[in-house]
Structure 1
Amino acid sequence: MADMSALTEAEAANRLMRLAKLIAHHNARYHAEDAPEISDAEYDALVRENSALEAAFPHLVRADSPNRQVGASVETSPLAKVAHEKRMMSLDNAFDDAEVEEFVARVRRYLALPADAPVAMTAEDKIDGLSLSIRYENRVLKQAATRGDGQVGEDVTANVRHIADIPQSLRDDAPDLFEVRGEVYMAKADFVALNARLMVAGQALAESKNEAFDPETVRQFANPRNAAAGSLRQKDAAVTASRPLRFLAHGWGAHSALPADTQMGVMQAIGRWGFPLSEHLRRFENAAELLAHYRGIEALRADMPYDIDGVVYKVDRLDWQERLGFVAKAPRWAIAHKFPAERAQTDLVAIDIQVGRTGKLTPVGRLTPVTVGGVVVSNVTLHNADEIARLGVRPGDRVVVQRAGDVIPQVVENLTREEPRNAFVFPDHCPACGSEAVREEGEVDVRCTGGLICPAQRFERLRHFVSRGALDIEGLGEKTIQEFLDLGWIDEPADIFRLSQHRDELVGRKGWQEKSVDGLLESIRAKTSPDAARLLFGLGIRHVGAVTARDLLKRHTTLPALRALAEDIIALRAATEPLPDEPPHRFQARIDKAIADHIGVENVGAAVGHALADFFHEPHNVQAWEDLLNEVSPPDYKVDVRESAVSGQTIVFTGKLETMSRDEAKAQAEALGAKAAGSVSAKTDLIVAGPGAGSKLKKAAELGIRVIDEAEWAEIVRGG
């Protein structure tokens, strides 16, 4: 992890932007697509780097911060959608004993408890499965849904009725409304047996067709977690019924009443109602006991019947849980203590270079297949040229690979680094189009400069433009885009809206009839007045993701206004000169601050401004932009403003707070849509004062700022 103190504000903003996009991508691959690309350990490292950067640069925290996101959207799922009455959260992670001890100490500080006060917690193994919420109304199973993005999940009710571990009804002592939450999983032995059955079925199918049997053509699951997720997310419940799925409860959601006032008490009640609980669920009084239990479970891990990746600790008292509350995506009263990654040795056979949508050249290592923790892996991302140089890897090297989940591993060590062999030379030209490939100042990635002339980027840019998150044009899938590219009908986004010129040519081509052609053209016509933020995101401008596009347009409202903003930044960069004896990094920081100030959008920094300026500085991009706006007419961008008693206000808490800690007060303010500040200024809207407020009250009186006490603040909190 980089030294945070050595980063400029611009570098930190740029890295936070890249981390937000990267983590969001991997969230979608893991949670929504059941096809992760990196290991748990590598993913955790990205999240930890993001958290460290946000702690060092709190004013740069983004609206799309990974610390505010849970799971992944289920927008593209074929299953019906279910809105969770109570949000399904994620968990923060701890990776060593010190972080667990700090978690316990943090709970004490937040609750203003004495340093020696016991903090009872439960501990249980963290099963590696698919999160599920099961809703019972009048003690009868009513609905079951996956976690999704925490707010909306997939309806899997019909499928869940075939899982024997899940009761169809609860005992008479259960509340009228209760949601049981836990993990759907597949036991290791059941997973092996399922893959064996799939292999036998594949061989039988080949024999019935008098075809040669190729085991590589049989679709088998990579690991038990993928098998469980794929089996539960079936449109045909009969397929789910044929799969050996199991369930383990670890918590609850919405409820009309609770059977106990502690975590352990409620879990024991859930067990009495017929749900399986972890046999390793225990209650402890201090961090030392928690860590001892962790060691015991870690020693049993390899022999356990299901996959686990850590131990979860939860504050036992429910009234304390309520006071501790939540941060953006996780409870303050729980943490997951992760296990170390698993490792194995293999050979690096080749290094291939892939070109992405933004022109990024990504090296992918091809491995001699090796089993790591029960999963056969054959590919590894090498990230970038710097990572290859750091490891000194070359085709033919013996390497140590690491994984902590069901994913592509990372290389952690090169065992043959000292053997005489030529170093791998990272290409300086794009392998797809031959254009120069360059590394921007301050960047680790090498990118193709070919833009839309690069076949790799052209296809990916167009595919991105019509994707669900962007224009969402139904009927323009990857195969169709490639067909139109091959025919020379489309090269840039505007060409999509001119496809009606080729209607007669398209009718009668293989796979196309009048109805399907007219349906596609109607889908395109329906997007000629698109949402401006979706259109902006669809252009694939670096650093301008879906959230950033919306944030920019909330302030600047129209696409022409954004172009004018970019031209202002171009002029600002050209007109700004270094001061005498000004170091280059100081000069760059001054430019970056001026750009960020000119943008004037919270959580949108100079990196976005530079990206907009770079985009409009290229003549072919300007031409593509103008062509597009000649074909479409996006309306001015508008957003609904949240109504709240203190929404949008700046609040200062001062003096000794007697009913809550300072952290708790700030959390309450943020939950109500307000901003908690540390000092009084003309921008302050409200002051909440406890005993001993002192000079801040004097300044508030001078500025005419409203002052209330804790009791009045509590009324505001209750009123929302």
Structure 2
Amino acid sequence: MEIKALIQNLREELHRHNYNYYALDAPTISDFEFDTKLKQLQELELQHPEFFDENSPTQRVGGTITKNFQTLVHEHRMYSLDNSYSKEDLLDWEVKIQKFLGSDSLQYTCELKYDGASISITYENGILVKAVTRGDGIQGDDVTNNVKTIKSIPLKVTGNFPKKFDIRGEIILPIEGFEKMNQELLDKGEQPYSNPRNTASGSLKLQDSSEVAKRPLDCLLYFIIGEDLPFTTQFEGLQAARNWGFKVPTQSRLANNIEEVLEFIAYWDVHRHDLPYETDGVVIKVNDFNQQNELGYTAKSPRWAIAYKFKSEQARTILKSIDYQVGRTGAITPVANLEPVQLAGTIVKRASLHNADQIAKLDVRIGDEVFVEKGGEIIPKIVGIAQRNTHSTPTEYISHCPECHTELIRKEGEAQHYCPNFYGCPPQIIGRIQHYISRKAMDIEGLGGETVALLFKNELVKDYSDLYELKIEQLIPLERMAQKSAENLVNGIQKSKEVPFERVLFALGIRYVGETVAKKLAHHYKNIDALAQASMMDLILVDEIGERIAQSVLEFFENENNIKIIERLKGFGIQFERVEIYNPNATTLLQDKIFVVSGVFEQFSRDELKKAIEENGGKVASSISSKTDFVLAGDNMGPAKLEKATKLGIKIISENDFCTMIAKSHLHND
């Protein structure tokens, strides 16, 4: 056999044995035989460097050094999941999606929720080309070299796979491997790692991939996304991924109704402790891809999936003291300082007490032994008194701001106390500037939260408009600030002048105006002056704007300080007007017509059809009502939607009917 063929055969054989061992946990040869074959391949590759292949099994040992991890935009956004904690939450979710689809005929795929670091891996022509961390869901870090060292992730796939696809999963550290790593550290007299999840996540950002290769990382895959997928359901996708060579847990189950989902949850709530890795819940997904597409996404999460979180473990510890933190809106949050205690794999020192009502309800006092649990919170929370300290006294909630000493206020119907010193309280000022520069707002490169605090402390900024007058020579004397970093900061501030109006509006930090609301207001009012002059009734009439948001917008523009800051920002060239992209094909043909788009289409995607409707003056609604003018129906439209449209006498049109209403070219970006 010629050398090239011998090398290729050895590679394919070792890939197959890797899959059997790491993905199937069913080795067909001994470790000694595997190592012998691997050594033979290494020697052949050394002797014949002309046949080098970066995807060879010999390359799993790593050795690549990554100084800076490049940030890459996900081709397909990585959404987070909505959480549920009870049977009632799941039943409510099912009712919502059945109503949305107009169908009660649903199957679900139930999967364990793995507690690790989310990853998106791209394959082209069956070859692993990149691996990107979840990041903020829009973009993440390129960790390809480190991921290639994880033996359960195939470098090449086999079978009937698409030309290009992304596969999503969790990189985990099995409990046994984690304990072994910690024992080795303890034997050396070093500090052990805190928990498997954080250790797995941190491993992905090690600069030396050979160090990553030494860690017993594993990867459990659960979702494939791409064009021309050779399956139409989530459950079929899991089986396809197994056939291609991925490690897909076999615990997943196809459920024909919500009762079967609840049975799956009840079983794993008990048996999860028998697994070799950590899991904190169950993910339930609508099985059918057509139904998934119809349900779509909210701003943050898919409507077609939900996570059921297992009840958190509790720990008992002593409440030592209570701190009161001031947020950027002036809201006061009490935080408990605890005697350090182990809880669900981490050492807990602080816990949330939420507000004065919660403290009073629990009657929690300094010196008491308390119950602490995680319960889905970012930081743990106190949930009860384990044992009262006989010398403790009732907790008196503070009456004045801990930072600026202004008397606190509490509005009727609200749980939290607020510091009203909006423009003079340091944490509020710093918090607003930190929000302004954040990634989803002005995204000012070179400027972080700590630097903002430093700028305020050194009296260089007192509000976010001051950022635009910063000079390099003012910045260089600051702690950890060199010439280059000062230049980057100033350049980043100048570049933020290009940020579009909807993000500027979000950046202003108007209470209750999040990303989605800012987009709606920017789209409706077009510029800041029109928004500033809007009345309460005008605002409420905007889609999805309620009285609470409207009142907050009014209060913001009634404040002279805010108006002065906006005028100043205008002078610096900030975008306070929505730039309308001119579309020569746009018409008013569908002006004031309301469409509901439902089903699967042959010529165009739903998004293309919706865009065409809006570009020609129409409006797209998510559900059928008496105000609907047309239902644009494709294949697999829900029978209940069809029945409702017929009952209301709404005209149902096909894809071809729609194309006769407007020029077909309008659906393209020609």
TM-score w.r.t. length of structure 1 = 0.67
Whole-angstrom CA distance in 2 between matches of 1:482 and 1:546: 24
2:335 matched to 1:367?
A: no
Aligned residues: 575
Residue number in structure 2 paired with 1:592: none
Change (3 A) 1:635 1:375: closer
Which amino acid is the alignment partner of residue 408 of structure 1? I
Residues 123-522 of structure 1 mapped to structure 2, 5 A cutoff: 123-148=110-135, 152-196=139-183, 203=190, 221-234=193-206, 236-254=208-226, 256-258=228-230, 263-283=234-254, 290-313=261-284, 326-328=296-298, 335-404=306-375, 407-416=378-387, 421-500=392-471, 520-522=489-491
Contact kept in structure 1, 2:594 and 2:629, CA below 8 Å:
yes
Which amino acid is the alignment partner of residue 579 of structure 2? K
2:547 matched to 1:601?
A: no
Q: How far has the Cα of 1:680 moved from its partner?
A: 3.8
Change (3 A) 1:141 1:360: same
Whole-angstrom CA distance in 2 between matches of 1:420 and 1:323: 60
Change (3 A) 1:287 1:667: farther
SS at the partner of 1:447? coil
Contact kept in structure 1, 2:332 and 2:417, CA below 8 Å:
yes
SS at the partner of 1:379? strand
Which amino acid is the alignment partner of residue 612 of structure 1? V
Which amino acid is the alignment partner of residue 167 of structure 2? V
Change (3 A) 1:476 1:372: closer
Contact kept in structure 2, 1:128 and 1:308, CA below 8 Å:
yes
Residue number in structure 1 paired with 2:74: 83
Contact kept in structure 2, 1:183 and 1:248, CA below 8 Å:
yes
2:548 matched to 1:548?
A: no
Q: How far has the Cα of 1:394 moved from its partner?
A: 1.5
Contact kept in structure 1, 2:69 and 2:143, CA below 8 Å:
no
Contact kept in structure 1, 2:334 and 2:353, CA below 8 Å:
yes
Q: How far has the Cα of 1:354 moved from its partner?
A: 0.9
Contact kept in structure 2, 1:188 and 1:306, CA below 8 Å:
yes
Whole-angstrom CA distance in 2 between matches of 1:138 and 1:320: 26
Q: How far has the Cα of 1:409 moved from its partner?
A: 1.7
Q: How far has the Cα of 1:169 moved from its partner?
A: 1.3
Change (3 A) 1:493 1:201: farther
Whole-angstrom CA distance in 1 between matches of 2:316 and 2:592: 55
Q: How far has the Cα of 1:162 moved from its partner?
A: 0.6
Contact kept in structure 2, 1:309 and 1:405, CA below 8 Å:
no
Whole-angstrom CA distance in 2 between matches of 1:598 and 1:108: 31
SS at the partner of 1:346? strand
Whole-angstrom CA distance in 2 between matches of 1:522 and 1:319: 45
Whole-angstrom CA distance in 2 between matches of 1:393 and 1:426: 11
Any stretches of 5+ residues in structure 2 without a counterpart?
1-67, 601-605, 615-619, 634-640
Residue number in structure 2 paired with 1:538: 507
Q: How far has the Cα of 1:161 moved from its partner?
A: 0.6
Contact kept in structure 1, 2:152 and 2:246, CA below 8 Å:
yes
Whole-angstrom CA distance in 2 between matches of 1:475 and 1:266: 42
Q: How far has the Cα of 1:400 moved from its partner?
A: 1.5
Q: How far has the Cα of 1:163 moved from its partner?
A: 0.4
Whole-angstrom CA distance in 2 between matches of 1:520 and 1:319: 45
Any stretches of 5+ residues in structure 1 without a counterpart?
1-76, 204-217, 570-594, 661-665, 701-706
Change (3 A) 1:647 1:185: farther
Residue number in structure 2 paired with 1:5: none
Within the candidate set 675, 678, 683, 2:621 is matched to 675
Contact kept in structure 2, 1:650 and 1:677, CA below 8 Å:
no
Q: How far has the Cα of 1:185 moved from its partner?
A: 0.8
Change (3 A) 1:300 1:82: same
Which amino acid is the alignment partner of residue 254 of structure 1? G
Q: How far has the Cα of 1:230 moved from its partner?
A: 2.2
Which amino acid is the alignment partner of residue 80 of structure 1? T
Whole-angstrom CA distance in 2 between matches of 1:516 and 1:251: 40
Q: How far has the Cα of 1:453 moved from its partner?
A: 1.8
Question: Which of structures 1 and 2 has the larger relative contact order (alpha carbons within 8 angstroms, sep 6+)?
Answer: 1
Change (3 A) 1:319 1:381: closer
Contact kept in structure 1, 2:631 and 2:653, CA below 8 Å:
no
Change (3 A) 1:195 1:112: same
Whole-angstrom CA distance in 1 between matches of 2:293 and 2:432: 47
Contact kept in structure 1, 2:110 and 2:253, CA below 8 Å:
yes
Which amino acid is the alignment partner of residue 226 of structure 2? A
Change (3 A) 1:79 1:528: closer
Contact kept in structure 1, 2:116 and 2:201, CA below 8 Å:
yes
Whole-angstrom CA distance in 2 between matches of 1:621 and 1:319: 47
Contact kept in structure 2, 1:652 and 1:679, CA below 8 Å:
no
Change (3 A) 1:601 1:234: farther
Whole-angstrom CA distance in 2 between matches of 1:416 and 1:440: 34
How far does the alpha carbon of each residue in 1:660-712 deviate from its partner, in whole angstroms, 9 at most, with x for none?
A: 9xxxxx9999798711564445x846687968977854xx7xxxxxx344675
2:526 matched to 1:557?
A: yes
Change (3 A) 1:177 1:623: closer
Contact kept in structure 1, 2:101 and 2:291, CA below 8 Å:
no
Contact kept in structure 1, 2:175 and 2:276, CA below 8 Å:
yes
Change (3 A) 1:512 1:380: closer
Q: How far has the Cα of 1:487 moved from its partner?
A: 3.6
Q: How far has the Cα of 1:307 moved from its partner?
A: 0.8
Within the candidate set 577, 580, 594, 1:650 is matched to 594
Q: How far has the Cα of 1:552 moved from its partner?
A: 2.5
Residue number in structure 2 paired with 1:212: none
Contact kept in structure 2, 1:177 and 1:257, CA below 8 Å:
no
TM-score w.r.t. length of structure 2 = 0.72
Whole-angstrom CA distance in 2 between matches of 1:332 and 1:494: 39
Change (3 A) 1:150 1:649: farther
SS at the partner of 2:423? helix
